[in-house]
Amino acid sequence: MNSEFYQSPKSSKFMRLFWKAAGADRFILERSTYGDQIKYVCLGGIIIATGVMAAIAGGYAFYTIFAPKGNAIDSFKAVEGIASNYDPTHIPTALISIVFGLIWGAIIFNIDRFIVTSTGKGDGTEAITRKELVGALPRIIMGAIIALTISKPVEIRMFKTEIDVALHAKQIKQEQAYKSEIEKVANGEIEKKQSIIREQLNRIARLDSISTVRKADIAYENSHGGCSLKCAEFKNQLASNQAEVTAIKSDPEFIKVKKELESLETDKLNKLKESGKVAAGLDGLLERIKLAHEEAGWVISLFVTLLFMTIELTPIFFKLMLIKSTYDYMEENIKELIKADKGIEIQHNFYPDGEGIERDLVINHQVIRVLKEKIKLLEAQSTLSNEAIDAWKDKKQNDINNNPEAYLSEE
């Protein structure tokens, strides 16, 4: 707007970007006061900031969920700058998280933009009436839900160091509990197999002990006059013992039990090696949110959430508190001009409905004009058609009068 008493400031690309985010009309704002321009710059700035925060929070949450799990203390070392072989960033997951974060930020940005632009300006005063609050309630609820989804990932990032230490302690407990359970289950089966094998080995040991004594007896007999009949008996007993030992060792049941024992011990070792992976499974988004509440306390967690809810809901309350300004009157004027140009007339509080509420009467003059033209056209076509039929009828009547034989046939 340019006049003797006021000249509207020129808008920059930066201002126009924020106006667009706020859903404001650039045409009107460029002809409005500086105060109106700044109002919508601030409103658009909050909406864009919310979208950016949502993108960061969504990307971080996605990374936390899908990144390879590990020992929380390694993550703690990375945060504190302690030397370790741990790589804090998994590049493939990070790239996917960036893409997801951008998509999520765009979704939240557009939802916020819709919520703000669809929220009315109230009654044009600073006061927020009960009626205005009730009307804005669905948008307030949606905004609160969005604030919660943004605040939780940011919260676990804020308290990451404390969460990593607490999570590491929990992982150790989980690993120990897992190992104890594996030991308890596996050792029972292993003990049964070892008992069977021990019984057979004791038999072999007894036979070997007897064989050793008999070998000594044979050696003694040979050194004292040669091997007699008793020596032959000792040799027979040695051969019998050796045959029994061989039979025990080659027994299919004994071999089967030994293999089962080896398999149980191998399986036990493999499961014990996986205890670290089981403990690392605790490093998830839900567990970190729980630990954030435990470590930070419900008061701090509540205030972090309230902070984001304030940021998210500010544009809604801001619009309800806006005082009618030049922008609003110009917007209404342009809307009325457009309605007039399109032949739309609204007669306010024209008739009561079934519940006694006054309703507006909307008259679409262009529609009425077209409808009248169409009715006139159809009426004219109907009249012309009737005249044509009457003329055709008269002509045929004359033909019949002049030459009736042409219309009759004798069989």
Helix, strand or coil, per DSSP, at residue 340: helix
57 closest CA partner among 107, 123, 17, 16: 107
Per-residue model confidence (pLDDT) at position 325: 82
Instruction: Look up tokens 């219309």; give the residue.
Output: 407
Per-residue pLDDT of the chain (411 residues; tens, 9 = 90+): 666 667 778 888 889 999 998 888 888 888 888 888 898 898 899 889 888 988 988 888 888 888 776 665 655 554 444 444 555 667 888 899 999 999 999 998 998 888 888 776 666 667 777 877 887 788 888 888 888 888 888 888 888 888 888 887 887 887 787 777 777 777 777 777 777 777 777 877 877 777 777 777 667 666 666 666 667 676 777 777 777 777 777 777 777 777 777 777 777 777 777 777 767 767 777 788 888 888 777 888 888 888 888 888 888 887 777 778 888 888 888 888 888 888 888 887 767 776 767 777 888 888 888 899 999 999 999 999 999 998 998 888 888 888 777 766 655
State how far the Cα of 271 lies from the Cα of 275, in Å rounded to an integer: 7
The owner of tokens 């729980």 is 290
Phi-psi region of 125 (alpha: psi -120 to 50; beta: other; left: phi over 0): beta
DSSP 158-220: HTHHHHHHHHHHHHHHHHHHHHHHHHHHHHHHHHHHHHHHHHHHHHHHHHHHHHHHHHHHHHH
Helices (H), 67-120: 72-80, 91-118
User: Could you tell me if 182 and 311 are in contact, meaning their C-beta atoms sit under 8 angstroms apart?
Assistant: no
> In the prediction, which pLDDT does 225 show?
63
Predicted structure pTM score: 0.62
Closest among 276, 325, 272 to 35, alpha carbons compared = 325
CA–CA distance, 221 with 199 (Å, rounded to integer): 33
What pLDDT shows up at residue 157? 81
What long-range pairs does 186-195 form, CB within 8 A, spacing at least 24?
186/264, 186/267, 186/268, 186/271, 189/264, 190/261, 190/264, 190/265, 190/268, 193/257, 193/260, 193/261, 193/264, 194/261
Nearest to 113 by CA among 48, 190, 183, 195: 48
pLDDT at 22: 87
pLDDT the model gives residue 78: 46
**In whole angstroms, what is the distance from residue 158 CA to residue 56 CA?**
13
Supply 406's token pair: 């042409």
Q: Is the dihedral of CA 104, 80, 178, 289 positive or negative?
A: negative
In angstroms, the CA 292 to CA 304 distance is 11
d(CA 309, CA 293): 18
Structure tokens at 136: 């804005």
Q: Determine contact, residues 156/288, Cβ cutoff 8 Å.
A: yes
